[in-house]
Amino acid sequence: MLEALPTARDHPLDPPTELRRLSAEEPLCRLLYPDGHVGWVVTSYELARCVLGDQRFSSRSELLRSAVHPTRIAEVERGESAPAGFFAIMDPPEHTKYRRLLTGHFTVRRMNALRPTIEQIVESRLQVLAETGPPADLVPSFALPVPSLAICALLGVPADERGVFERYGSLLNSLEVDAAEIKSGMTAMSDCLKGLIGQRRRRPSDDLLSALAREDDLSEDQTAGIAMLILVAGHDTTASMLALGTLVFLLHPEHAEALREGEASAERAVEEMLRYLTIVQYGLPRTAVEDVELAGELIRAGETVTVSLPAANRDSTRFPEPDQVDLSRTTPGHLGFGYGLHQCLGQHLARLEMQIAFSMLLRRFPTLELAVPLAEIPLRRQHMIYGVERLPVRW
């Protein structure tokens, strides 16, 4: 049995070596959770899909345990029910109700209609960079504002009110904050959103908040909760991918060149970055609601299984040469956005933002390079979402 989830990385861009060993030798392994529970961890691609695709494994917040924190599960304390509208930690039928309401707003077509807006957002950030640098820290100047402005545009949150979401959004995924800070962050965001929802009820516009405000079946708390979940789930994640993905391009100038020259497709490059980097670094918890037999073991009702997405996405039985960044890789089905009922709602938006941002950044600054050695770039360890704290560059 593992005494704790392995979290130490030998290389900043590779998952912990111990998880890789397990994936090959013992892909379903007993794990002692920080709260004393004896549950499981899954590290192979095949078993990860089995668990995430099986509704006998629940996402209900009341049943979940974290593999890296003794009391916190995502935005809630262990055992607490999900805040109104936070359908990511609910099961059907509640989850289905919310998901149905939102799916139509996140289709590829809807997201493609946002392309000009996202291009304009990226262009304006590049312009600021060109005027103020070199050098520059790409995290605050590019990676954080681009997704923040994009989700605000989608929802209809005025750009000058985004500060509160940027400040608290990342906090909710941190392992270092206490319950009181989480609660006050959630309240601040919810209050701000309720004010905006009230405005949209009086004066509707062509944005997602207005569409949600029109739903008679939703309470104000539920509407604000949905909007908050979208902001929280979509900002920090995409920001981390933008910074880490840029780091990969700077460490591999040949890939940057291929994308810049159009020899590599931006679509494929983004899929490979999502697989290679798998930023949901401590995986996804699920709890069995009945006894389940899996890979010859009996998982008892009430036991939590943590699915290690980073290990599954480096499983060599699915992805040949998994540690290589291969922009022409064609193996589909990486688990960077999860799998099954809860697979990322905002994945088409995230893809579009990354495709546009990487291509425009590398073309605008063809000589872009790291301003410090890799070893000096501070990494995010005490956080559910992997990333870099700073990305100093020059050109």
Contact residues toward ligand HEM (CB under 6 A) are 59, 87-88, 99, 151, 229-230, 233-234, 237-238, 241, 279-280, 284, 336-338, 342, 344-346, 349-350
Q: Which is nearer to ligand HEM, 166 or 371 (CB)?
A: 166
Q: Which is nearer to ligand HEM, 44 or 173 (CB)?
A: 173
Judge residue 268's burial from the number of C-beta atoms within 10 Å of its C-beta, 0-12 exposed, 13-18 middle, 19 or more buried: middle
Q: Rounded to the nearest whole angstrom, what is the least distance from the CB of residue 127 to ligand HEM in the complex?
A: 23
Which token pair is 195? 């004010």
| Residue 256 identity (one-letter amino acid) | A
Q: Which is nearer to ligand HEM, 53 or 253 (CB)?
A: 53
Q: Which is nearer to ligand HEM, 311 or 371 (CB)?
A: 311
Q: Rounded to the nearest whole angstrom, what is the least distance from the CB of residue 198 to ligand HEM in the complex?
A: 22
d(CA 312, CA 48): 7
Q: Rounded to the nearest whole angstrom, what is the least distance from the CB of residue 338 to ligand HEM in the complex?
A: 3
Helix (H, G, I), strand (E, B) or coil at 65: coil
Q: Rounded to the nearest whole angstrom, what is the least distance from the CB of residue 361 to ligand HEM in the complex?
A: 16
Q: Which is nearer to ligand HEM, 49 or 342 (CB)?
A: 342
Name residues whose C-beta falls within 8 Å of residue 228's C-beta, 6 or more positions apart in sequence: 83, 85, 86, 186, 189, 190, 193
Name residues whose C-beta falls within 8 Å of residue 20's C-beta, 6 or more positions apart in sequence: 14, 43, 311, 314
Which token pair is 392? 């100093």
Q: Which helix (H) or strand (E) holds 234?
A: helix 220-251
Q: Which is nearer to ligand HEM, 145 or 371 (CB)?
A: 145
Q: Rounded to the nearest whole angstrom, what is the least distance from the CB of residue 325 to ligand HEM in the complex?
A: 16
d(CA 362, CA 185): 35
Q: Which residues pair with 388 in a beta bridge?
A: 379
Q: Which residue, judged by CB position, is nearest to ligand HEM in the bound state?
A: 346
Q: Rounded to the nearest whole angstrom, what is the least distance from the CB of residue 346 to ligand HEM in the complex?
A: 2
